[in-house]
Structures are given as structure tokens and as C-alpha cells.
Amino acid sequence: MNITQVIAALCVSFGILWDAQAQESSKSIDEIVRLIESAESGSTIIVPPGVYGGNLRIEKSIVLDGQGGVTIDGLGKGTVVELGVGDITLRGLTIRGSGSTVDQEPAGIRAFAGPVIIEHNRIEDVYFGIDLRPAPGSIIRYNVIQGKELGLGRRGDGVRLWWSDDCIIVDNKVDAVRDMVFWYSENLSIARNHVTNSRYGLHFMYSHGTTLEDNELVANSVGVYLMYSNEIHLIKNSIVNNRGTSGYGIGLKDCDAITIEHNALLANRVGIYVDNSPSSVDSYGLIVENKIAFNEIGMLATPITHDNIVSRNAFVENEEQVTVHGRGQLLLNEFSADGVGNFWSSYSGFDRDGDGIGEFPHAPRSLFRSLLAREPNLRIFLHSPAQQAVELTARAFPDLSPEPIFVDAFPLTRPPELDLFVGTQGGGRFPMVGFSAGLLVISVFGGWVVGRQSRLPMVSDSDLSQKAFL
């Protein structure tokens, strides 16, 4: 036996040991299958802790409880857990490693019948997260869903509902997926979900009659996009920093009877985008008591948009407060209701009689804006002194002023007290303080070092020339 053979033998035996160790921590999914087979319908199965590899399909109404210590790993193939019948509860599981082939749409959890309860699970490295198709009456709550690291266009949905009415979707935390999307699903309750770094935070397609409350939608391309969905009530959502290339805080596309109230729409590319909503003749849209602040555009609407009531909102420091997508005016929408308009940080009038309403209508005329409508390329000059010069010119020569885009006849002179849910924002204070102090120290200390009176090296050999030089 020469030395090479010894080394080879050692390697092989070590490899076997190593493999055995790996197998110890990774159990087969068949163990869970056997547990389910031996359980009565309707009973609760507490799964022993461990990592179970493989795909699971459940065809019995049971409660599968991992108590936080169970991981089901699809090993990168297909859907990890499929629910074939209703009345199944999945609780306290970590579900990961679905396939990623687009045509199969593999998911972490896919339910084919309702109602099911999916709660307190962690779902990660999956193509789709939770897919109900259909599973009406289901509850999805307290799950954490993390998508695969794919480009925005290649990801699957974090949560998808397909023809699943009466579902409750609350307290989920979703990150890096495509959408949380609701197809043809009515009468949902969607609250306290937190969606970040995704394409559309909450996306409605032909899904009517739903309330969205206290959701937090941050740093997605679009916060909430409602399409062809009627009677949706958005209340107290926090919609912040959604700035995709065509990103909106809230987008409305052909939706009737929408109510948007008490939302915080902050620092988005566009706060609210209204595209032909309401689309029916006798319908209306209600946008009241929202805070729409620090967006590039507060509210953007297509020229055809009509019959929206926009009142008691605070429009604060949006680069453009309200504007039209293209040319035209928004005169078919009401920017005040019952003699109360909105607060505009850009309003330049005053309140003489002290009733909180400005004495002049707010009818902004921006020459630069109207030039933009003619020639969108001019947008490159935004944020520059030249833009200010154009506006100043228009003020000096009223003949150049364009028609106002909208008129708020009763602008508020003080921001209204709004009941909002703003969510958790803001970074650490310490780095900024340090940075501030650093700059000041650089300027003072740097100034002292450079500027202090010293014996100049070039004249160090002659006091006379030093005096002359100084």
C-alpha cells in the first residue's frame, strides 16, 4: 500500500463520514408524509425539528405545526408544499428552495382548495411565495416571504390570489418579490402587510370590494396599483419611497368608486397616479385627508380624468404638486368639497378673515410646466436656476402665463390635522451627526493648519525677505 492509496482511502472514509453528518441534519420529506398518513383528519401534527428535503403534497385536512424548528427544503425543484384540499393549517414552518423555471411557476406554498390557514411561516428562496388558486376564505398572516434574487422582471409573486374571495391577508412581511397580486378576488381584508423592494406592493386585477388598511409599502416600483377594480377603500397606509421608472405611490387604472383617505404618500416618484378613474359615467373617486408630501409629482392624472373629489389633503413640498400627463387641464375634477379645499405648501395667498381658508383660489400657473407638456425633453432643466428664471419671467409678464391646470377655490392656509400611519422611517442619527461634525472640523482645523502663520520655508534663510513677502 503506497502513500497515494492511503491518502485516497482517508479521503474516501472522511467523505463518507461527512456525508453521514449531512444526512443526520437533513431528513427525508417521507417522514412528514408518514406522519400525515397516520394522522386522523382534523388532527394537529407537531413535526419534530429538523430539515426535511423534498416536495410535499397534503391531501388531508390537518394542522401541520413546525413550532419554528422545522424546515422544508424543496431542493430547488418544483413547488415545495402543495395543499390539495381545504381546511389545512400550515404553521411555524420554514419553507425554502422552490424551483425557478418560469413555465411551471413553482411556489413555496400552493393551495388548490380553500379555506386554508397559512401563518407564522418563513418562506424564502422561492419563485412564487404563497399561491392560492383558488382557495377562497383563506387566511394568510404573520408570514415572512423573501423572494429569490432575480431581476425585477423575472421574479414570481410573493402572494398571489386567483379567484379566491373572502380571504384575510394580514401582518405579512414581504421582500424582494414581484407583486402581492389579487386576481378576480372580492371582499378581501388586507391589513398591516409590509412590502419592500418589490415591483408592485399591492396589485389588484379585476378584484372589487376590498379594504386596504395600515399597510406599509416602501421602496417598491409602485406602492399600490389598482387596475379595473372597483369599490376599493385605501385607508391609513404608509406608502413611501416607491420610485420605479414609472413608479407611483398609488396607481389607479380604470377603477370606479375608489376611496383613498388618511394615507401617507411620501417621497414617491408620483404620489397618486390617476389613469381614467373613475371610468364609468356616474361613478366618482374620493381622495381626502391624505398627506402627499416630498414626491417628485404629488398627483398625476391623464387629461381625460374626471369626477374625482380631492379635498382636505396636505400637498407639501412636492416638486410638482398636481399635474397632467401630457397637455390639458383637470377642470372636471373637484379640488374642494363643501367649501373646503386642500392645503398647498406652494399657496401664496393669505387668510384675512381667519377662517383657515385662503382669500384667493389656488390656481397654479407654471410656465416651465406648460413648456414641459409641449417638450418633455426640457425636464432635464428641472432643479436648475434656469427653471427659476423661466418661472420668474412668467410672473413678470402675465401674458406668458399658461392656463391653470386645476383650481382649488378654497385652499386651506394651515395643514389639516390628519390621522396617519407613517410607519418606521429614518436612519441612524449618529452617522449624520458625525458627518456634520467632521465637515466642520475639516473646515476649521484645515483652515488653521493651512492658514496659520508660520515661518515660510521659501524665505527661511532671510528674515528680510520674509517681511517683504508678507
Partner 1 sequence: MSSLPIKASDSSPIIKSGSHLSRASSVIAFARREFRDAISSRWFLLYTVAFTVLAVAVSFMSLAGSGSHGFAGFGRTTAGLLNLIMLVVPLMALIAGAGSIAGERERGTLLYLLAQPISRTELLLGKYIGLAIALCCSMCVGFGLSAGVLAWRVGGVGISAFVMLVVFTCGLALAMLSVGILLSVISRRSGVATGLGLFVWLILVFLSDLGLMAGTILFKLRVQEVFVIGVMNPLQAFKMAVIVNMNASLDVLGPVGMYASQTFGGALPWILALVIGVWTIVPLVIALILFSKRGSV
Query: Does residue 419 interact with partner 1 by CB under 8 A?
Result: no
Give CA–CA dist 29/51, Å, rounded: 9
Tell me which long-range contacts 185-194 makes (C-beta under 8 A, separation of at least 24): 185/134, 185/136, 185/161, 186/210, 188/161, 190/215, 191/215, 192/216, 193/169, 194/218
Nearer to partner 1, 278 or 411 (CB): 411
Choice between 286 and 371, CB closer to partner 1:
371
**Shortest separation between residue 359's beta carbon and partner 1, angstroms:** 22
**Least distance in Å: CB of 157 to partner 1?**
24
Cell of 12: 474516501
- Residue 267 lies near partner 1 (rule: CB under 8 A): yes
- Residue-level length of the chain: 470
Paired residues of 239 in beta bridges: 217, 265
Min. distance of Cβ 401 from partner 1 in angstroms?
Answer: 17
Q: Does 241 bind partner 1 (CB under 8 A)?
A: yes
Q: How far is the CB of 369 from partner 1 (least distance, A)?
A: 12
> Is 468 one of the binding residues for partner 1 (CB under 8 A)?
yes
Residue 12's SS3 state is: helix
- Closest by CA to 289, choosing from 424, 195, 425, 412, is 412
Residue type, 188: L
Residues 271-300: x where in contact with partner 1 by CB under 8 A, - otherwise, as a string: ----------------------xx-x----
Query: SS3 for 233?
Result: strand
CA dihedral 147, 149, 151, 153 (to 10 degrees): -20
Residue 422 lies near partner 1 (rule: CB under 8 A): yes
The residue from 382, 395, 397, 400 that contacts partner 1 (CB under 8 A) is 382
Least distance from partner 1 to the Cβ atom of residue 415, Å:
7
Residue 400 within binding range of partner 1, rule CB under 8 A: no
Rule CB under 8 A: is residue 23 a binding residue for partner 1? no
The alpha carbon of residue 405 and the mean position of all alpha carbons in its chain are separated, in whole angstroms, by 29
Question: By C-beta, is 101 or 384 nearer to partner 1?
Answer: 384
Work out which of 47, 252, 300, 316 binds partner 1, going by CB under 8 A: 316
- List C-alpha distances in Å: 123 to 29, 144, 175, 180: 17, 6, 11, 14
What's the CA gap between 426 and 100, in Å, rounded? Answer: 35
Residues near partner 1 (CB under 8 A): 240-241, 243, 245, 266-267, 269, 293-294, 296, 314, 316-317, 319, 345, 371-372, 374-386, 388-390, 415, 422, 425-433, 435-440, 442-444, 446-447, 450-451, 453-454, 456-459, 461-462, 465, 468-470
